[in-house]
Structure 1
Amino acid sequence: MPANYHTHTFRCHHAVGEDREYVEAAIAAGYDVLGFADHVPWVYPDDYVSPTRMTAAETEDYFTSLTALKKEYAGDITIYIGFESEYLPELLPAQDRLLADYPVDYMILGQHFVTPEPYGHYTGFDGDLEGLVAYTDSVIEGMETGRYIYTAHPDLYRYRGEGTEKQFRRICRYMKEKELPVEINILGIATGRHYPSSLFLNIAAEEGCSAIIGVDAHDPKVFERSGILLRGTEIAEKFGLPVVDYMPGLGRLKEAT
């Protein structure tokens, strides 16, 4: 298990475990790269505070804690500090101001909402074709900015009716064109969710995409479940998707090459 770029912390308020526990569990599981990508804090114009993501006030502690662990465990594992973030153009200027002084290594796109909370529809709940089209548009538009190294659970949107294949193909064709992998999400496998989607992965294979295995860890104990972790690789092999181990643009890949 070379790398995982999709790891959360207790600061998102729906994950458990201390930061150190994630690092030590990843080392024990054989990872040599661990990327923390907790749910990014947003600054909402009406002072809304999301119950399912890091708050702005927790940002300092996030970087202080992980930077210390990054140094402490440098001989055992390479640690990156990033975020999983939605693409919400109207809120990006405030997000940029909030994060300007922090050493953000990377972001992954997790399009849980197409419009801001609390009024936006969570894309993992039942939706419709119109919503899927909007989701697809926003994923492609977001990735076009260059802010994100890949898209987490690109098959998150919960609609599998008429028109789904066309939208999934749009996403996969775009990822192939940009040489970006599609994530096979371990949390989805472990909890029996509607993703990873066989339809999506079939289309990804037809379009010639590669895959990346994202643990989407919300509990350090997931790293002890070797069978679940291996399922991601097995699924990639089943669909004929070559697995990307390290993402470009990050220090580990540069060192390896």
Structure 2
Amino acid sequence: MIANYHTHTARCQHAWGEDKEYVEQAIAAGMKVLGFSDHCPWVFPEGYVSRTRMFPEQLDDYFYSLEDLKREYARDITIYAGFEAEYIPELMEDQEKLLEGYPVDYMILGQHFTANEMTAPYTGFPTNSKAELKKYVDTVISGMETGKYAYVAHPDLFHFTGPDEVYEEYFLRLCQYLKAHDIPVEINLLGVVENRHYTSERFLKIAKKAGNSVIIGCDAHTPDRLSNAEYVNACRKMAEKLELPIVDFLPGLGVIER
């Protein structure tokens, strides 16, 4: 694995390790590209405080740290500074104002909620609601239509427990959309190694039907997740089993020529 675009930092309140440790583990693993995509802050109404993402007041520290690391390790690895964020239309304008002026290299879409986090349930909770599955897929596609996001993190995060034919109907629509826009499907290392419901073979079979390529995203919340070859090989074998082509770099986010 020579590139990973799904890396968190301790600022999100559920990851551990110093920024520099993530970089050094990636270099030790032979990576050429490391993209940081910590959970993006929102400007919430009514004084709500999220416990699963960085705070707005941490933005300066985040970018100062990553810019320093870009310079320090410029000969060893290409580092990008980005975010993982949901697409929540009513909050987008305030988020864009919050991020204005910061050197954001890219964003990935991680649809952990289909509405305001204050009221909406986590999309990873089990449900047999066809309406909620439809809302999830519709929201992800709408988010990608904005052109704001480079790819979809853990696209099968929505934990649908209803009929297989309903699951396939909606996730096939998502996979076909991604295929039409040349966006790879993520095999999420965190979900695979922790035996979560994502990334599942059920979903990858649908991706195979749609003709998708895949990209491995470490979803690293600790530095060691970037350098464990056994974990990466487990993800690679999932792709190879279904003959899904693996891409290394996201379009426009390859190795910077030095």
Shorter-chain TM-score bucket reads over 0.9
Deviation beyond 3 Å, 4+ runs, structure 1: none
State the Cα deviation string for residues 63-107 of structure 1 (Å, max 9, x = none): 000110011001000000000000001001000001011000000
Structure 1 residues 236, 131: closer, same or farther in 2, change over 3 A? Answer: same
Q: What CA distance in whole angstroms lies between the structure 2 residues aligned with 1:74 and 1:84?
A: 23
Residue 224 of structure 2 aligns to a residue whose secondary structure is helix
2:103 is equivalent to residue 100 of structure 1:
no
Tell me the residue number matched to 1:147. 148
Following the alignment from structure 1 to structure 2, what is the Cα–Cα distance between the partners of residues 16 and 10? 5
| Residue 83 (str. 1) matches residue 86 (str. 2) | no
Aligned-residue offset at 1:16: 0.3
Structure 1 position 214 matched with structure 2 position 235: no
Structure 1 match to 2:241: 238
Letter in 1 for 2:75: G
In structure 2, how many angstroms separate the alpha carbons of the residues matched to 1:103 and 1:214? 22
Alignment partners' CA distance in 2, 1:120 and 1:146: 24
1:224 aligned residue (219, 224, 227): 227
2: distance between equivalents of 1:250 and 1:192?
Answer: 29
What SS does the corresponding residue of 1:196 show, helix, strand or coil?
A: coil
Alignment of 1:126-165 (within 5 A): 126-127=126-127, 128-162=129-163, 163-165=166-168
RMSD over aligned CA atoms reads 1.2
1:160 corresponds to which letter in structure 2? T
Determine which of 199, 203, 207 is the counterpart of 1:200.
203
Q: Which residue of 1 aligns with 2:250?
A: 247
Shift of 1:188: 0.2
Provide the secondary structure at the position in 1 that maps to 2:83: strand
Give distance in 1, aligned partners of 2:143 and 2:38.
Answer: 18
**1:29-44 → structure 2 map (5 Å cutoff):** 29-44=29-44
TM-score norm. by structure 2 comes to 0.96
Structure-1 separation of matches of 2:214 and 2:146:
21
Question: How many Å separate the matches in 1 of 2:81 and 2:195?
Answer: 28
Aligned length: 255
Please list every run of 5 or more consecutive structure 2 residues that lacks an aligned counterpart in the other structure: none
Report percent identity of matched pairs.
56
| 1:55 pairs with 2:60 | no
Deviation of the 1:226 alpha carbon: 1.2
Unpaired runs of 5+ residues, structure 1, are none
